[in-house]
Amino acid sequence: MKYNISAFTGTNLQIAQEPEIGVEAVVKVAYSPFGTVALVEQDAADSGATASVSNAYSIPVAGVDLAIMCDNAMLSDVALVITLNVVDEDDAATTAVATFTRPTWSGNTSYNQPQGMALDLVPATAADKKIKSVTSVASISGGVEGNTFRIVALPDTNDWYEVGCPVDKNTTLPIPEPTPINCRFNGARYVKPGQSPPGNLTVSAHHVSYADGLGRLLGHKVSAMLEIRKRDRVVTDRIVIGGWQPQPQSDRGGGNDTVESNAEGLFEQFATFSPTT
């Protein structure tokens, strides 16, 4: 599945710039994993290399759609272009590209990106080609030393199913928390990024049965996605969460109370897709 969101134009741009309301979030779940294939680490501006990770995701022989995400808060003075040497689904050696640039519709005109921002890796042979392997970094334009990116495989289009009638959809993202270091009378002479809180996702929805809806997830580790559809017509964000282990509980109340399932659980990884043009 390709997760990139097209640039906003015309009426869609006006809709996209409206504040979000809760009902605009669609919740989807998939049993397939959110897998890390490798890292890309920048050792200087315009330079970087791939690095392996322990327990890396093994790409199926037919290939998959891959994305690349900011593993930390990305810094750059220009649009950052990452080009990777890859092998596509037809065993052709080619390249795949992702360009992190500033969204023209945003009031923030910097090229810096938040941790978790992600883009599809698009093969040069054809945009719809799947990727069998990543061999090396072909080139990087922009960025600074210390930027780290994560190459990931996410659930395919047919893997997702929609959770009916969602109510609450709340996330705690695993972003490093500010940690103070004191110096004499100053309790926070230095503030550094420390360990992140555990990622947590809570979703509630009207209960149907343990054979359907959130109840069906009891005991499973799954992927989840919050897709923001403003006015139910313009997709502005896709927040993909991996390694979610929910614990659905049903609160039945009494009388004419609507029975809801509340699925809360920790998760391991996340990636966010938003238009960057």
- As a whole number, mean pLDDT of residues 132-140 equals 97
Name the pLDDT band for 277 (thresholds 50, 70, 90). low
Mean pLDDT of the chain: 94
Name the pLDDT band for 85 (thresholds 50, 70, 90). very high
Residue 122 predicted with pLDDT over 90: yes
Measured in residues, the chain has a length of: 277
Strand partners, 98: 82
Residue 209 predicted with pLDDT over 90: no
Give the residue, 234 or 250, on which the prediction is more confident: 234
**Can you give the pLDDT at residue 106?**
86
Residue in 77, 79, 132, 67 with CA at minimum distance from that of residue 271: 67
What is the C-alpha separation between 117 and 276, in angstroms, rounded?
10
- As a whole number, mean pLDDT of residues 242-264 equals 89
Q: Is the pTM of this model over 0.85?
A: yes
Residue 125 predicted with pLDDT over 70: yes
Amino acid letter at 223? Answer: S
Residue 237 and residue 271 in contact, taking contact as beta carbons nearer than 8 Å: no
